Structure 1
Amino acid sequence: MSPTAIPLRELPRVRHRDTKHLGGLIRPGTHRSPLAALGDRFVVDPPGFPTMLVTRDLDDVWSLFAAREDFSLGKVLSRLSSHDELFGTRTLIFLDGEDHRRERRLFAPAFQPQAVLAYEDLIGEVVERVLPSWPIGQPFEFLRAGYDLAIGVLLGVVFGTMPPARLARLCTAVGHWFEAIESRGFLAVTLLTPFLGGYTLPYLPLRRTQAHVDAVVLEEIADRRATGRTGADVLSRYVGTDSDRHDDAGLARDMRGILLGAYETTAMTLGWIAALLAGHPEVMAEVDAAADAGDTERLDTYLDAVVAESMRVRPASPFTARRAVRDTVVNGVEIPRGTMVIVPILMIHESPQHYPDPLAFRPERFLAARPETRTWLAFGGGVHRCLGAQFALLEARVMFRAILRHRRIDVTPGYVEPPRRLHTGISPAHNARITMRRR
């Protein structure tokens, strides 16, 4: 350790009785948490957990993101969540160092801007297929519609055109798998995991449904190897190409991981966008004016800003973290091995230092310029920044453009659904109940 570095013992420390307030740092209105008064950095020692440094100091944050050899994201996920049970510990988010860089290079081409643009027609087609089933003139849960949209797009992006019978079996298997993930039983398991030292209790419905998904994907991989069938989908970028570096079981696991990694976060983001639009008539007025005029450029520009602002005030992942794999120093602070450094993303997004009137929903913030990656952390940062960030932004904009060509959203001025915790994210408490009418 550097003799001039600040040891953790010299930083403000949360009293044990106040650790109950940690949850307030990942819910909207972070300034109301008593912990906010401790300053930009403070230390937490929850009983039974590793020591945690919570920091919203941006120099700390970006020093953390840059120190990629000294910290691990996977060791945080294994300790605090059930992600290893869901994804497997050999997937991208769990890997560090050269293993992570090599795996990221393999998967990055499928999510580069040019590749992402090729999915635009597919996204629009999914909306056109699903939209007629939504009720007109009565409330419905848009979050549920968001799940349908997300999986419809993801299956097409990841697997492209499949034999109809196999696609039907995959849809059924994936549906059952997601039901297991969203079940109260597995939610209870995930809530216990942090208190069991990172051990996730076996949940047989999850393992069974996961195996069914893998079986269908393995069948598809074998068929492509045998026939040479290809396409513009993600799987086609690997099978039989120079990027084909995994055995079939590993490739199936990775394809399943892409589905899961984008499914829930996409649906939650879509749900929040709908809920926020419904609560802000001045924003809906601008959206309606552009849609009524048939001005696609104006609508797209404004929707990009709406998406960015929605992800600022309601990020699907309101925090990120890294765990030190060795004694190190971050921006002049000593970090002993095993310490977790927690970055409260929502707290940064709600800072008046970075965003004037930060609790207000104002898409206009992002009309003149894209979000600044230093202060807008909806996709995390550093080497573990979400690989599908560009795709997620395009998907949300294209989906709402397609929806708003045919539908209007009724507004309830001043009301936005409160959040609820869903695994490691925040979701609309009432599943984004909105009412739509024909345009």
Structure 2
Amino acid sequence: MSETPVADPITLRQLPRLRARDFGQLGGLLRPGTHSSPLLHLGKRFVLAPPGLPTMLVTHDMDDVRALFAHQDDFSLGQVLSRLSSHDRMFGKQTLIFLDGPEHRRERKLFSPPFQHKALTSYEDLMVEVVRRELPSWPVGEPLEFLRMGYDLAIGVLLGVVFGDVAPGRAERLKHAVHEWFGAIESRGFLAVTLLTPLFGGYTPPYPPLGRRQAEVDVVILEEIAARRSDPGYAAERSDVLSRYVGTELDQHDDAALARNLRGILLGAYETTAITLGWIAVMLAGHPEALAAVDAAADSGDRARLDAYLDAVVAETMRLRPVSPFTGRRAIRDTVVNGVRIPKGAMVLVPILLIHESPQHYPDPMTFRPERFLENRINGHLWLTFGAGPHRCLGAQFALAEARVLFRTILEQRRIEPVPGGLEPPRRFHTGLSPAANGRVILRERG
């Protein structure tokens, strides 16, 4: 019996190509309302070749997407980040997100245990404590910017989870150093530098204030690592990331590399956590039915019911407002993805938000309806907020649990109300999705 012949792969030249004069329309795939984009007439795949940048295949064909994430040794996430952004200047190219193949799998195995499901419950008391410490200082009965509150919660949780109890003097120095480091990252000076990265072939010029702030953070982290190593019994009965690492079979880095990776964990989770918390507040305030559901659960004192609904709220918020509305990979060798030949050096970009807003995958996709995640669990092939495949965000489970615990603790003491003006849009002229007005809501005492 003869075998069915396999069709030859098609090349990027055979696919629809976006004209240079229409490159500006790409922004429509990165903001809510993707299905009104005029680019959809090109089909589920199209190619663009921006001057001075690699050729790019943009696809929301789910067979392409699944095949892309399965080709773990043919593609690099780090090379996309390095070529298009300043991530390598912020994180360092030796950190996990820039590693590929066996090296990536090895590092991921070393750093994943503190973020796996069985470890998450050990962090819950810390999360509750952070809310109870910060909440009394938040204004009541007047508009506040929840995103700013989210930054305070994020850093409080992160420092506790990553380092646990630190000697008071060193703890204050660490918090101050991290705050100054984040300030340098968010400064207009560094933003101006990062805009040069794509134009300079992926090279981000040094930004001295950032370098100094990173070094100051590392000095304190190195002191803490040295203190842990000098007292082998110190980590007993402790659950923070550093204690789970130092002196165990996972401890396979020199102190400088360990400090760099711990700093990377802080940076990777800080802004994304704060922005997600801001969007949760905005989406609840802007949708009375969802707000009524969480209020009813909180008023009843039924924590299990509140947690279940909040899990759904978090998932639905991240579906409609993923912090990063796209992801991508760069081919590190010639390869074929779902019948398409991808040459070495080309990029494959996946517009996450376009998939999340597709009626093919989510009925009535533009409606904020948390109940869809009460009825069905998250489908990791179609819900791509944390990416997929071997490079899926290491802290995905942690982030979902953290958002639920933080909001549960807030809602047990406060009610959320909207401010006039309708649902807050994302910022304009920004590659990520962040609330344009920093997540303005009103909090009132729950009583």
Q: Into which bin does the TM-score normalised by the smaller protein fall?
A: over 0.9
Match of 2:187 in 1: 183
Please say if 1:339 is aligned against 2:346. Answer: yes
- More off after superposition, 19-28 vs 304-313: 19-28
Please say if 1:46 is aligned against 2:50. Answer: yes
Provide the aligned length of Structure 1 versus Structure 2.
Answer: 438
Match of 1:108 in 2: 112
Shift of 1:196: 1.5
Structure-2 separation of matches of 1:246 and 1:425: 33
Equivalent in 217, 222, 245 of residue 252 of structure 2: 245
Match of 2:224 in 1: 220
Match of 1:37 in 2: 41
Structure-1 separation of matches of 2:199 and 2:38: 24
- More off after superposition, 400-409 vs 221-230: 221-230
Equivalent in 117, 129, 132 of residue 125 of structure 1: 129
Structure 1 regions of 5+ residues with no counterpart? none
Structure-2 separation of matches of 1:191 and 1:274: 31
Amino acid at match of 2:319: R
Work out whether residues 280 and 413 of structure 1, in 8 Å CA contact, stay in contact via their aligned partners in 2: no
**For the aligned residues, what is the CA RMSD?**
1.3
Equivalent in 432, 436, 441 of residue 434 of structure 1: 441
Work out whether residues 278 and 413 of structure 1, in 8 Å CA contact, stay in contact via their aligned partners in 2: no
Equivalent in 301, 316, 327 of residue 320 of structure 1: 327
Please say if 1:358 is aligned against 2:365. Answer: yes
TM superposition score normalised by structure 1: 0.98
Change (3 A) 1:412 1:173: closer
Amino acid at match of 2:225: I
Work out whether residues 421 and 427 of structure 1, in 8 Å CA contact, stay in contact via their aligned partners in 2: no
Amino acid at match of 1:278: A
Work out whether residues 281 and 411 of structure 1, in 8 Å CA contact, stay in contact via their aligned partners in 2: no
Shift of 1:421: 6.0
Question: What does 1:196-345 align with in structure 2 at a 5 Å threshold?
Answer: 196-228=200-232, 229-230=234-235, 231-345=238-352
Question: What does 1:40-189 align with in structure 2 at a 5 Å threshold?
Answer: 40-189=44-193
Please say if 1:389 is aligned against 2:396. Answer: yes
Please say if 1:195 is aligned against 2:199. Answer: yes
Identity over aligned pairs, percent: 70
Shift of 1:426: 1.3
- Residues 233-285 of structure 1: per-residue CA shift (max 9 Å, x gap): 00112111111111100000000000000001000100000011111111101
Work out whether residues 281 and 412 of structure 1, in 8 Å CA contact, stay in contact via their aligned partners in 2: no
Change (3 A) 1:381 1:422: farther
Match of 2:3 in 1: none
Shift of 1:424: 4.7
Shift of 1:107: 0.8
Shift of 1:404: 0.3
- Residues 87-111 of structure 1: per-residue CA shift (max 9 Å, x gap): 1111110000100010011011111
TM superposition score normalised by structure 2: 0.96
The runs of at least 4 aligned residues of structure 1 exceeding 4 Å deviation read: 421-424
Work out whether residues 11 and 342 of structure 2, in 8 Å CA contact, stay in contact via their aligned partners in 1: yes
Work out whether residues 419 and 440 of structure 2, in 8 Å CA contact, stay in contact via their aligned partners in 1: no
Structure-2 separation of matches of 1:227 and 1:237: 14
Change (3 A) 1:254 1:107: same
Shift of 1:369: 2.2
Q: Secondary structure at the match of 1:419?
A: coil
Structure-1 separation of matches of 2:192 and 2:145: 24
Shift of 1:348: 0.3
Work out whether residues 142 and 433 of structure 1, in 8 Å CA contact, stay in contact via their aligned partners in 2: yes
Amino acid at match of 2:10: I
Structure 2 regions of 5+ residues with no counterpart? 1-5
Q: Secondary structure at the match of 1:420?
A: coil
Change (3 A) 1:341 1:335: same
Shift of 1:191: 2.0
